[in-house]
A and B are shown apart, each in its own frame.
Chain A
Amino acid sequence: MSTTTNYTPKTSTGRIAHFVDQRVGGSGIVKEFGRKIFPDHWSFMFGEVALYTFVLLLISGTFLTFFFDPSMAHVIYNGSYNPLRGIGMSAAYSSTLDISFDVRGGLFMRQVHHWSAILFVAAVSVHMLRVFFTGAFRKPRELNWVVGGVLLILAMAAGFTGYSLPDDLLSGNGLRIIDGVVKSIPLVGTYISLFLFGGEFPGTLIIPRLYSLHIMIVPAIILLMVGIHLFMVVVHKHTQYPGPGRTNDNVVGFPVGPVYAAKAGGFFFIVYGIVAAISGLLTINPVWNYGPYDPSPVSAGTQPDWYIGFVDGALRLMPGVLGNFSFEWNIPFPWGVNTLSLNVLIPALIPAGIMFTIMFAWPWIESWVTKDKREHHLLDRPRNAPFRTGMGVAGVVSYCVMWAAASSDLIATHFHVSLNDVTYWLRVLFILGPILGFVVARRIALSLQRKDREIVLHGRETGVIEMSPEGTFSERHADLDVYKLHQLVNYEDRKVIPAQPNAAGHISRSEKRRGALSKFFFEDRVAPVTPSELAALKAEHGHGPAEIEGSSTESIEK
């Protein structure tokens, strides 16, 4: 452990670094990360938005804890909001009113917190869609995809626990619905509900309990998961879109210092600026209009925050009775009759359960069907993976139908149609929508691939109209430059891999299923143009497309 050294720092930066490094190290980190390369693309920003809104949530949330009283003790409101003065309410609701009306900037901070939460879940969702549609979840990033999915669930949990805290009429009804859903769980549901609320609904304990979940446990797990998520991003290095010079073995982009750090750091302030503008100008969750929680009143047209909407919509879509058949079953057991509320249990668990299971398992499903165990660092353009794009759109459609169902009453009143008809149509769409979505999205992706082929084979349109001596008009096409051409021909050409026999010469059942899925996914495909194909086409025409800008054809003809 010799400390003698020949290195003498010359600059003041060097002297500081020398001091720090000799004591705690750190030069290694700077060496590793100071010039690390990050690929740049606008679609990589969604993850950043998620991270930054989470930082805003921590900042604004900490401010709010200094003023919020998470207690359901009965108080008489005596603050400065006249319409509610003298009315009995919980301390939680009263202190929320105080934050809004008697703490300067308190309303602003509340709105920053709520808007950030809404944007946080939105950014996480859009980021996951980006990762899915570009195939960024493939090996070696499968586990990070799972961590991302866990983060989405945690984000919704954080949102819901926070939404309930002000103890206003709207959030109280939200809790009432949760109570009803929990009670529908067989065997243990009743007890879970009674334990959660510390007795019967609503009791006086749920707000402080949600508070400790909301400000400690959930954010701590989110922080841990974000740490793991970013650590894995560093380990894997970021994926990049395909393009000339970008391969599976390299990373092309800007170094962290200074360009990437400046852009990403600056972007935090932009996100905060936009959230501040929304929070300053647009009211969110005006709890003073709703009044304190009371089990009797409810206002029509109430909605949960958007990310809970799909579960609420599923609850609405499920029919409780069909004719004389009820989905609530009373089952006689030797010890007595027990009640199974399938009309609540099915919509609350099944759609979300299927969606999250497929989502979490998708990286392995895809690698199983394609027999692809290679590492992938180059992204797919969504059109170049029509099967995946179709599946993704099917998932999005089924989510959106449920989400729309959460506003079925507003759709009905807004468009002056019957509420029952809206529900019937949404039920039909819930079944057919994903299938249609898959077919249509895959067709569109295949068509876009065909268009790419067309452009490669016949050149790009120049906008120059020529008249032939015979008097016919045609548009002159020009060869693509090599970079553009490479963009359009360089993609993974996935083919059907029929079921293969194993070592014993036997084709297993699961292998047959895999073969069938492979056929379903890849039977229709558009192969990328090959150089020989292009050369053959040109030979057939006797000449290449007219050279307007020249100079780029040589490399194609090789």
Chain B
Amino acid sequence: MGDHSHGSPDDSGTVAKAGTGTLDKFQDPGLPPHRKRLADTDPHAEKRAERQVALLFIISIIGTLSFFIAYFVLGRPENISEIRVQNAMLGLGTTFAMLGIGIGIVHWAKTLMPDHEISEMRHEITSEADRKDAEEIINQVIEETGIKRRPLIRNTLIGAIALAPIPAIFMFRDLDRTGKNAGEMVEQLRHTMWDKDVRLTRDPSGTPIKASDVQIGSVFHVIPEGLDEAEDVLNEKAKAVVLLMRLDPDKMHISAGREDWHYQGIVAYSKICTHVGCPVALYEQQTHHLLCPCHQSTFDLTQECKVIFGPAGRALPQLPIKVDANGFLVAQSDFHEPVGPSYWERG
């Protein structure tokens, strides 16, 4: 608050417009008097400022040159640490090149260019007379088209214009490149690669899993056997990934109809979150909770992956499994409900 610029308003050299003055209000004293800068009065200070600006421009030149040094002398980096060094040097070269110019110009403007504040009057954006003229012109144009007097023309035109853009919307029908009809498009969301006797294999190696491999506390990230040969590998994988864990069968709460979906406490659940589809990748061994790292939906494995926290609204779908003749884990069937985020037609 060190404003000690006392001086009579007459010195300010700019418009000192009085306030409205009609009410009990303080008068506008006008712009404070202009205070001269050091460079305005002292030729040495002026010379110094000039040299400072020039020095900043020279720093910019050096910066640009060092960019070229980083680009050519360091050449093509061989490894990530060399890339880091080159990137830092290119960045710093550019920094000095740009800051030299920028700070130089601003310093020039602030110390050497005139710093008198100027007052200018505002103009009305438009005049009311213009507005009135415009209104008249538009009304006259509308009148001359006769559109108000000829409702037949007006109504057919409205109809034509309303209809004309609709093809543009239908043109987008083939954004879906699968060639399926509307029903098939929605129906495909219900099915995954899992089927009767499809082996559970490790992600990403694809090796099958024996029941004896699965210990309590361990977790397997599982894909169906033959995923690599699928037509759209990522599309199939986005629906079919499964988590495989083993629980103490006594601790499991099993609902009616699911009694034989596990094998000696080995259970398989869809890894795709029922919230918005992130992979539910975290397994807490002690609590038997599955946690989605995206939005923290938490599912309780002992209660058939019921939601116990977070934004998901529905349990993870369970994949019924069994063991085949060779002791490998296989699916009994596909999931009994669509996996992943909910959608309108899910039902």
**Contacts from A to B (Cβ < 8 Å):** 35-37, 80-82, 100-102, 104-105, 107-108, 111, 140, 173, 176-177, 179-181, 183-191, 193-196, 198-205, 235-237, 244-247, 249-255, 258-259, 262-263, 265-274, 276-281, 293-302, 312, 315-321, 326-328, 330, 336-344, 347, 377, 408-409, 419-420, 423, 460, 481-486, 489-490, 530-532, 549, 551-552, 555-556, 558
Q: Does B211 contact A (CB under 8 A)?
A: no
Contact B311 A556 (CB under 8 A): no
- Given A266-B101, A276-B94, A532-B24, A249 and B235 touching (CB < 8 A)? no
Query: Contacting B6 at CB < 8 Å: which of A176, A330, A481?
Result: A481
Extra contacts besides A176-B238, A327-B313, A460-B1 (7): CB < 8 Å: A102-B76, A183-B343, A245-B15, A266-B102, A296-B223, A530-B26, A549-B4
A75 to chain B, nearest CB (A): 14
Which residue of chain A is the closest to B106 with respect to CB atoms? A266
Q: Which of B80, B86, B114 contacts A104 (CB 8 A)?
A: B86
The 7 A-B residue pairs whose C-beta atoms are closest, nearest first, are: A280-B91, A180-B276, A269-B102, A328-B313, A266-B105, A245-B31, A273-B98
| B185-207 interface code vs A (CB 8 A; 1 in, 0 out) | 11011000000000000011000
B281 at the A/B interface (Cβ < 8 Å)? yes
Within 8 A of A (CB), among B6-55: 6, 9, 12, 14-17, 19, 24-32
Indicate if B267 sits at the interface (CB-CB under 8 A): no
Within 8 A of A (CB), among B97-111: 97-106, 108-110
Which residues of chain B have C-beta atoms less than 8 A from A181's C-beta? 276
Beta-carbon contact of A296 and B313 below 8 Å: no
Question: With A202-B238, A298-B279, A483-B5 in contact, do A490 and B28 touch (Cβ < 8 Å)?
Answer: yes
Does B175 have its Cβ within 8 Å of any Cβ on chain A?
A: yes
Please tell me if the beta carbons of B30 and A244 are within 8 angstroms of each other in the complex. yes
Q: Which residues of B contact A341 (CB under 8 A)?
A: 313, 341-343
Does B117 lie at the interface of the complex (its beta carbon under 8 Å from any beta carbon of A)? yes
- In this assembly, does B221 line the interface, its C-beta being within 8 Å of a C-beta of chain A? yes
Measured CB to CB, the nearest residue on chain A to B185 is A194
Residues of B48-105 at the interface with A, using a CB-CB cut-off of 8 Å, are: 71, 76-80, 83, 86-92, 94-105
- Most B CB contacts (10 A, CB to CB) among A183, A274, A484, A490 go to A183
- Which residue of A is nearest B109, CB measured? A262
Complex: A186 Cα to B323 Cα, angstroms: 41
The answer to whether B189 touches A301 (Cβ under 8 A) is no
* Listed A/B pairs (19) with beta-carbon separation below 8 Å: A177-B276, A190-B344, A191-B186, A194-B176, A272-B98, A273-B102, A280-B90, A280-B95, A294-B237, A296-B237, A296-B241, A315-B276, A320-B312, A326-B307, A339-B342, A341-B342, A343-B311, A484-B1, A549-B4
Beta-carbon nearest neighbor of A252 in chain B: B119
CB distance B344 to A189 under 8 Å? yes
B95 contacts which of A267, A273, A294 (Cβ < 8 Å)? A273
When distances are taken between beta carbons in the complex, the residues of chain A under 8 Å from B172 are 195
A250 close to B6 (CB less than 8 A): no
B83: A residues at CB distance < 8 A: 100-101, 107
Q: Measured between alpha carbons, how far is A200 from B345 in the docked complex, in Å?
A: 15
Query: Could you tell me the distance in whole angstroms from the C-beta of A87 to the nearest C-beta in chain B?
Result: 10
A281 CB contacts on chain B under 8 angstroms: 88, 91-92
Q: Is the CB of B341 within 8 A of A558?
A: no
Asked if A296 contacts B31 (CB within 8 A), the reply is: no
Residues of A within 8 A of B188 (CB): 200
Q: How far is the CA of A176 from the CA of B114 in the complex (A)?
A: 57
Interface string of B304-317 (1 = CB under 8 A from A): 00010111111000
Q: Is the CB of B342 within 8 A of A321?
A: no
Residues of A within 8 A of B110 (CB): 263
Q: Is the CB of A338 within 8 A of B311?
A: no
CA A408 – CA B78 in complex, angstroms? 39
Most interface-central of B282, B313, B347 (chain A CB within 10 A):
B313
**Of A258, A409, A551, the contact of B113 (CB 8 Å cutoff):** A258
Closest to B234 in A: A202
Given contacts A180-B276, A295-B237, contact A276 B344 (CB under 8 A): no
- Do residues A249 and B17 form an inter-chain contact, with CB atoms below 8 A? yes
Q: Mask for B112-131, Cβ within 8 A of A = 1, else 0?
A: 01110111111001000000
Residues of B within 8 A of A266 (CB): 101-106, 108-109
With a CB–CB cut-off of 8 A, which chain B residues contact A555?
27, 29
CA distance A202 to B83 in the complex (A): 32
Please report the C-alpha to C-alpha distance between residue A474 and residue B333 in the assembled complex, in whole angstroms: 90
Complex Cα distance A276/B67, Å? 12
Whether B278 is near chain A, meaning CB under 8 Å from some CB there, is yes
Q: Are B122 and A337 in contact (CB under 8 A)?
A: no
Given contacts A245-B17, A245-B28, whether A184 and B122 have CB atoms under 8 Å apart is no
A338: which B residues are within 8 A, CB to CB? 344-347
CB pair B176–A483 under 8 Å, yes or no, is: no
Check: B293 CB closer than 8 A to any chain A CB.
Answer: yes
| Across-interface contacts of A205 in B (CB, < 8 A) | 177
CB of A184 within 8 A of CB of B342, answer: yes
CA distance A176 to B12 in the complex (A): 64
Q: Which residues of A contact B229 (CB under 8 A)?
A: none
User: Given contacts A104-B76, A532-B24, is CB(A250)–CB(B15) below 8 Å?
Assistant: yes
Complex interface: chain A residues within 8 A of B28 (CB): 244-245, 247, 486, 490
Q: B115 — which chain A residues lie within 8 A by C-beta?
A: 254, 259
Asked whether any CB of chain A lies closer than 8 Å to the CB of B178, the reply is: yes
Distance, CA A101 to CA B344, complexed state (A) = 44
Report the separation of the CA atoms of residues A179 and B235 in the bound assembly, to the nearest whole angstrom. Answer: 13
**Contact between chains at B30 and A203 (CB < 8 Å):** no
- List the one stretch of B150-158, B160-168, B294-302 in contact with chain A: B294-302
With a 10 A CB-CB cut-off, give which of B86, B99, B340 has the most chain A CB atoms: B99
Chain B residues with Cβ below 8 Å from A481 are: 3-6
Q: Which residues of B contact A340 (CB under 8 A)?
A: 344
B271 is an interface residue with CB less than 8 A from chain A: yes
A187 adjacent to B344 (CB under 8 Å): yes
Residue of B nearest to A313 (CB): B295
Q: In whole Å, how far is A330's beta carbon from the nearest beta carbon of chain B?
A: 7
- B246 touches A (CB below 8 Å): no
Instruction: Tell me, in angstroms, the Cα distance from A550 to B268 when the chains sit together.
Output: 87
A36 proximity list for chain B (CB < 8 A)? 120
Contacts of B97 in A (CB 8 A): 273
Min CB–CB distance A92 → chain B (angstroms): 13
- CA distance in complex: A81, B277 (Å): 31
| A249, B110: Cα distance in complex, Å | 27
Contact A105 B29 (CB under 8 A): no
Would A258 and B347 be within 8 Å (CB), given that A183-B341, A316-B311 are in contact? no
Residues of A near B119 (CB, < 8 A) are: 37, 245, 250-252
From the candidates B79, B125, B313, B344, name the one contacting A236 in the complex (CB within 8 A): B125
Interface centre among A196, A295, A532 (most CB of B within 10 A): A295
Q: Judging by beta carbons under 8 Å apart, are A336 and B344 in contact?
A: no
